[in-house]
Amino acid sequence: MTENQNTILQYETVAYLPGERAIRIIDQTLLPGTIRLILLRTAEEIREAIYLLKVRGAPAIGVTAAFGISLLTEGALPAVEDDTPERHAENYEALRSFFLDRAAYLESARPTAVNLAWALRRMQSVLDSCGSRQEMTMREICALLREEAYRIRNEDVEVCRRIGEYGLTLLKPGDGVLTHCNAGQLATIRYGTATAPMYLAQERNYGLHIYADETRPLLQGARLTAFELSSAGMDVTLLCDNMSASLMRTGAVQAVFVGCDRVAANGDAANKIGTSMAALAAKRYGVPFYVCAPTSTIDMSLETGEEIVIEQRPAEEVTEMWYRERMTARDVKVYNPAFDVTDHDLITGIITEYGIARPPFTESLRALFKEPQG
């Protein structure tokens, strides 16, 4: 564990350190006051980091899961007896059983973020492809898993950059842009999703005015988005979640860009709680509302957002987390969903790495998966 005084943008959100047999993350629960890098080595540490939001954001969770299951599976190698091709069948079944057990354990940390399950399924597909390859040792299989984890990481950087390029076509110099929660570099490896157009606009001197919702109850907008964008030199204004409608009414906001954790086939999108309120206000005041979604976040198996499982968080996040003393009576019940679903009819467009999907989303999203993508 280390503390560092460098700027937040100097560190990758998630890094694999094979030499130390560890994953390194930024503990985002301590931001912005402290930049602390922590090392994760065990399944319990990895799962806890995901569940407690030390690492968060759908893409970053996916990368953490990929690196994590690779690290854990490599750690099981000493238990494999006689790692030779002649022992392939017996050793492979033992390794696969271990992999599936640890993958299920990690996946249970955050049920709403589809990238967690997506990354683990993708890693499993590599493992499954090795079952009939009798010439392979388990060490060679683990090397392939590590390569796939790095591939997922590198693809995330490129996907975010492409989302940024498409999103930038929707902006002009001097625009005001509102965002909710943190779909920035801290939620990915680089650029972010909703913030990718902002980072590219900064590089090209657009002079955007960024408005960041505070994002109760965990304050990802105040602690993370405002912090990382101001560190990048952007013009950032923080506001409480219930002030966004008032701001849009003034005409200061020309577009809303948000990330998401899961998109259904009809375009309904689950994102951090409070997103749907911003979408409703944007609809009322004629502000275009865009969801920035890697295709890995689009779940075509779900017809509508009604099928998205919404994680319920501990009541203490609302009543105690940010206060010196408890701020409500102890017999008061608390409703604390981590996400809400923004209905597709409130969404102007869904920006992916392959282009901007527009209504009707049942057609435009399906087309993304039918057409060959480059």
Inter-residue contact 70 to 200 (CB < 8 Å) = no
Inter-residue contact 27 to 54 (CB < 8 Å) = yes
| pLDDT, tens digit, 9 for 90 and up, residues 134-168 | 999 999 999 999 999 999 999 999 999 999 999 99
**Whole-number Å distance between alpha carbons of 212 and 224:** 10
Inter-residue contact 264 to 303 (CB < 8 Å) = yes
Check if 156 is active-site: no
**Whole-number Å distance between alpha carbons of 245 and 258:** 16
Name all domains of the chain by residue range, CATH numbers in brackets. 2-158 (1.20.120.420), 163-370 (3.40.50.10470)
The end-to-end CA distance of the chain, in Å, is: 40
> What's the DSSP call for residue 271?
E
Residue from 27, 175, 241, 261 carrying the catalytic annotation: 261
Q: What angle, rounded to 10 degrees, do the helices at 43-51 and 88-107 form?
A: 30
Token pair 């689950």 is found at 270
pLDDT at residue 77 in the model: 87
pLDDT at residue 371 in the model: 65
pLDDT at residue 370 in the model: 81
pLDDT at residue 83 in the model: 85
Burial 305-338 (b: 16+ CB within 10 A, else e): beebebbebeeebbbeeeeeeeeeeeeeeeebeb
Mean pLDDT score across all residues of the chain = 94
> What's the DSSP call for residue 222?
I
Rounded to the nearest angstrom, the gap between the alpha carbon of residue 117 and the centroid of all alpha carbons in its chain is 12
pTM, rounded to two decimals:
0.88
Residue 332: is its pLDDT beyond 90? yes
| pLDDT, tens digit, 9 for 90 and up, residues 198-233 | 999 999 999 999 999 999 999 999 999 999 999 999
Residue 1: is its pLDDT beyond 70? no
Q: Which of these, 59, 31, 53, 16, lies nearest to 296 by C-alpha position?
A: 59
Query: Which residue blocks in the chain are alpha helix, DSSP H?
Result: 43-51, 58-75, 88-107, 114-129, 138-168, 196-203, 220, 226-231, 244-249, 275-284, 316-319, 361-370
pLDDT at residue 148 in the model: 98
Residue 349: is its pLDDT beyond 60? yes
Residue 82 binned pLDDT confidence (cut-offs 50, 70, 90) = confident
SS3 349: strand
Among 108-112, 181-185, 259-263, which is the least confidently predicted range? 108-112
pLDDT at residue 181 in the model: 97
| pLDDT, tens digit, 9 for 90 and up, residues 185-202 | 999 999 999 999 999 999
| pLDDT, tens digit, 9 for 90 and up, residues 21-77 | 999 999 999 999 999 999 999 999 999 999 999 999 888 999 999 999 999 999 998
